[in-house]
Amino acid sequence: MDSPCCEDRHLPKVVMDNFIRRLISPPKNKISKFIHPGTMCADIGCGPGYFTIPMAELTGSTERVYAVDSDTKAIEILDAKSKAKGLQEIIKTHTTSAANMKQIPDQSADFVFANGVLCCMADHDGAVEEIKRILKPNGLTYLSVTRLFRKGDSRGVRREEWNRILTEFSVKEKGEGIINRWALVSKS
Protein backbone atom coordinates (compact mmCIF):
# COMPACT_ATOMS: atom_id res chain seq x y z
CA MET A 1 0.00 0.00 0.00
CA ASP A 2 1.03 3.55 -0.60
CA SER A 3 1.25 6.25 2.05
CA PRO A 4 -1.95 8.09 2.99
CA CYS A 5 -2.35 11.85 3.19
CA CYS A 6 -3.19 13.07 6.67
CA GLU A 7 -4.84 16.31 5.47
CA ASP A 8 -7.65 14.57 3.60
CA ARG A 9 -11.09 14.30 5.18
CA HIS A 10 -12.45 10.79 5.64
CA LEU A 11 -16.17 10.25 5.94
CA PRO A 12 -17.58 7.34 7.96
CA LYS A 13 -17.70 4.18 5.83
CA VAL A 14 -21.35 3.58 6.73
CA VAL A 15 -22.21 6.97 5.18
CA MET A 16 -20.31 6.14 2.01
CA ASP A 17 -21.82 2.72 1.37
CA ASN A 18 -25.14 1.66 2.82
CA PHE A 19 -28.50 0.18 1.86
CA ILE A 20 -30.37 3.50 1.99
CA ARG A 21 -27.89 5.24 -0.31
CA ARG A 22 -28.12 2.33 -2.76
CA LEU A 23 -31.92 2.52 -2.67
CA ILE A 24 -32.04 6.29 -3.26
CA SER A 25 -29.12 6.54 -5.67
CA PRO A 26 -28.04 3.24 -7.23
CA PRO A 27 -24.38 3.63 -8.24
CA LYS A 28 -24.75 2.05 -11.70
CA ASN A 29 -27.34 4.71 -12.61
CA LYS A 30 -24.67 7.42 -12.30
CA ILE A 31 -21.82 5.68 -14.10
CA SER A 32 -23.27 3.24 -16.64
CA LYS A 33 -23.51 5.79 -19.46
CA PHE A 34 -19.72 6.32 -19.27
CA ILE A 35 -18.51 2.74 -18.90
CA HIS A 36 -18.76 -0.20 -21.28
CA PRO A 37 -16.73 -3.40 -21.60
CA GLY A 38 -13.09 -2.52 -22.12
CA THR A 39 -13.21 0.93 -20.48
CA MET A 40 -10.15 1.68 -18.34
CA CYS A 41 -11.45 3.55 -15.25
CA ALA A 42 -10.10 5.40 -12.24
CA ASP A 43 -12.25 5.96 -9.14
CA ILE A 44 -10.58 8.81 -7.29
CA GLY A 45 -11.64 9.08 -3.64
CA CYS A 46 -13.22 5.65 -3.94
CA GLY A 47 -13.92 5.15 -0.22
CA PRO A 48 -15.11 1.60 0.47
CA GLY A 49 -16.02 1.04 -3.19
CA TYR A 50 -19.59 2.28 -3.62
CA PHE A 51 -18.87 3.09 -7.28
CA THR A 52 -15.72 0.97 -7.75
CA ILE A 53 -17.42 -2.43 -7.63
CA PRO A 54 -20.08 -1.45 -10.22
CA MET A 55 -17.32 0.06 -12.40
CA ALA A 56 -15.45 -3.25 -12.38
CA GLU A 57 -18.65 -5.13 -13.22
CA LEU A 58 -19.40 -2.78 -16.12
CA THR A 59 -15.89 -2.68 -17.59
CA GLY A 60 -15.56 -6.46 -17.66
CA SER A 61 -12.50 -8.60 -17.23
CA THR A 62 -10.38 -7.10 -19.99
CA GLU A 63 -9.49 -3.81 -18.31
CA ARG A 64 -8.54 -2.45 -14.92
CA VAL A 65 -10.24 -0.12 -12.48
CA TYR A 66 -7.82 1.96 -10.44
CA ALA A 67 -9.24 2.83 -7.01
CA VAL A 68 -7.54 5.57 -5.00
CA ASP A 69 -8.31 6.79 -1.48
CA SER A 70 -6.17 8.16 1.32
CA ASP A 71 -8.17 6.22 3.94
CA THR A 72 -6.44 2.91 4.69
CA LYS A 73 -9.55 1.40 6.29
CA ALA A 74 -11.70 2.22 3.25
CA ILE A 75 -9.17 0.56 0.95
CA GLU A 76 -9.09 -2.52 3.19
CA ILE A 77 -12.90 -2.76 2.98
CA LEU A 78 -12.79 -2.37 -0.81
CA ASP A 79 -10.07 -5.02 -1.12
CA ALA A 80 -12.23 -7.47 0.87
CA LYS A 81 -15.31 -6.68 -1.26
CA SER A 82 -13.42 -7.09 -4.53
CA LYS A 83 -12.00 -10.43 -3.38
CA ALA A 84 -15.45 -11.66 -2.29
CA LYS A 85 -16.89 -10.74 -5.71
CA GLY A 86 -13.95 -12.18 -7.65
CA LEU A 87 -12.92 -8.74 -8.95
CA GLN A 88 -9.48 -8.50 -7.32
CA GLU A 89 -7.73 -8.93 -10.70
CA ILE A 90 -9.66 -5.99 -12.16
CA ILE A 91 -9.61 -3.55 -9.21
CA LYS A 92 -6.16 -2.18 -8.37
CA THR A 93 -6.26 -0.19 -5.11
CA HIS A 94 -3.86 2.48 -3.88
CA THR A 95 -3.88 4.17 -0.49
CA THR A 96 -2.72 7.63 -1.43
CA SER A 97 -3.95 11.16 -1.97
CA ALA A 98 -5.58 12.10 -5.26
CA ALA A 99 -2.78 14.66 -5.57
CA ASN A 100 -0.17 11.87 -5.75
CA MET A 101 -1.36 9.02 -7.96
CA LYS A 102 2.02 8.08 -9.43
CA GLN A 103 0.99 4.40 -9.47
CA ILE A 104 -1.46 5.10 -12.30
CA PRO A 105 0.28 5.39 -15.68
CA ASP A 106 0.10 8.57 -17.76
CA GLN A 107 -2.84 8.79 -20.16
CA SER A 108 -4.20 5.40 -19.12
CA ALA A 109 -7.80 6.16 -18.09
CA ASP A 110 -10.74 6.38 -20.45
CA PHE A 111 -12.96 7.53 -17.59
CA VAL A 112 -11.99 9.23 -14.32
CA PHE A 113 -14.63 9.47 -11.61
CA ALA A 114 -13.85 12.09 -8.96
CA ASN A 115 -17.14 12.32 -7.10
CA GLY A 116 -16.86 14.60 -4.08
CA VAL A 117 -13.13 14.07 -3.66
CA LEU A 118 -11.78 17.60 -4.20
CA CYS A 119 -13.82 18.98 -1.30
CA CYS A 120 -12.32 16.34 1.02
CA MET A 121 -8.69 17.23 0.41
CA ALA A 122 -6.32 20.15 0.78
CA ASP A 123 -4.39 19.98 -2.52
CA HIS A 124 -7.06 20.68 -5.12
CA ASP A 125 -4.58 21.79 -7.79
CA GLY A 126 -2.44 18.69 -7.29
CA ALA A 127 -5.47 16.44 -7.75
CA VAL A 128 -6.55 18.30 -10.91
CA GLU A 129 -3.03 17.93 -12.37
CA GLU A 130 -3.03 14.20 -11.58
CA ILE A 131 -6.47 13.73 -13.14
CA LYS A 132 -5.27 15.48 -16.30
CA ARG A 133 -2.11 13.35 -16.31
CA ILE A 134 -3.89 9.98 -16.10
CA LEU A 135 -6.75 10.87 -18.48
CA LYS A 136 -6.41 9.67 -22.07
CA PRO A 137 -6.60 12.43 -24.72
CA ASN A 138 -10.16 11.41 -25.65
CA GLY A 139 -11.19 10.40 -22.11
CA LEU A 140 -13.87 11.86 -19.86
CA THR A 141 -13.85 12.92 -16.22
CA TYR A 142 -16.82 13.32 -13.91
CA LEU A 143 -16.02 15.90 -11.21
CA SER A 144 -18.27 16.92 -8.36
CA VAL A 145 -17.89 18.92 -5.16
CA THR A 146 -20.18 19.57 -2.25
CA ARG A 147 -21.49 23.05 -1.59
CA LEU A 148 -21.92 22.18 2.09
CA PHE A 149 -18.74 23.06 3.95
CA ARG A 150 -17.83 25.14 6.96
CA LYS A 151 -16.47 28.64 6.50
CA GLY A 152 -12.73 28.59 6.85
CA ASP A 153 -12.45 24.93 5.77
CA SER A 154 -9.48 24.97 3.39
CA ARG A 155 -10.72 21.75 1.80
CA GLY A 156 -13.96 23.37 0.63
CA VAL A 157 -14.21 24.30 -3.05
CA ARG A 158 -15.87 27.68 -3.39
CA ARG A 159 -17.61 28.81 -6.59
CA GLU A 160 -14.65 30.91 -7.79
CA GLU A 161 -12.23 28.01 -7.37
CA TRP A 162 -14.67 25.58 -9.03
CA ASN A 163 -14.93 27.88 -12.05
CA ARG A 164 -11.11 28.16 -12.18
CA ILE A 165 -10.77 24.35 -12.01
CA LEU A 166 -13.19 23.97 -14.92
CA THR A 167 -10.99 26.24 -17.09
CA GLU A 168 -8.36 23.46 -16.90
CA PHE A 169 -10.64 21.24 -18.99
CA SER A 170 -13.06 21.29 -21.87
CA VAL A 171 -16.51 21.25 -20.23
CA LYS A 172 -19.01 18.92 -21.91
CA GLU A 173 -21.82 19.33 -19.36
CA LYS A 174 -22.17 20.92 -15.96
CA GLY A 175 -24.79 21.53 -13.34
CA GLU A 176 -25.48 22.67 -9.84
CA GLY A 177 -27.85 21.33 -7.24
CA ILE A 178 -28.73 22.28 -3.71
CA ILE A 179 -25.83 20.33 -2.24
CA ASN A 180 -23.31 19.96 -5.05
CA ARG A 181 -21.73 21.17 -8.28
CA TRP A 182 -20.76 18.72 -11.03
CA ALA A 183 -19.19 18.69 -14.47
CA LEU A 184 -18.37 16.22 -17.20
CA VAL A 185 -15.07 17.30 -18.69
CA SER A 186 -12.31 16.22 -21.06
CA LYS A 187 -8.78 17.46 -21.66
CA SER A 188 -8.57 20.95 -23.14
Does residue 1 register a pLDDT over 70?
Answer: no
Does a structural domain hold residue 7? no
Which structural domain, as residue segments, surrounds residue 87?
Answer: 13-187
Question: What's the rounded Cα separation, in Å, for the pair 3 and 167?
Answer: 30
Which residues are registered as beta bridge partners of 44?
A: 68
In the chain, the amino acid numbered 156 is G
Does a structural domain hold residue 3? no
- Output the CA angle 139-25-164, nearest 5 degrees: 45
Does a structural domain hold residue 154? yes
Number of domains observed in the structure of the chain: 1
Note the pLDDT tens digit of each residue in 30-81. 899 999 999 999 999 999 999 999 999 999 877 799 999 999 999 999 999 9
Does a structural domain hold residue 61? yes
Does residue 93 register a pLDDT over 90?
Answer: yes
Q: What is the pTM of this model?
A: 0.85
Which residue would you say has higher pLDDT here, 160 or 109?
A: 109
CA 18, 24, 30, 36 dihedral sign is positive
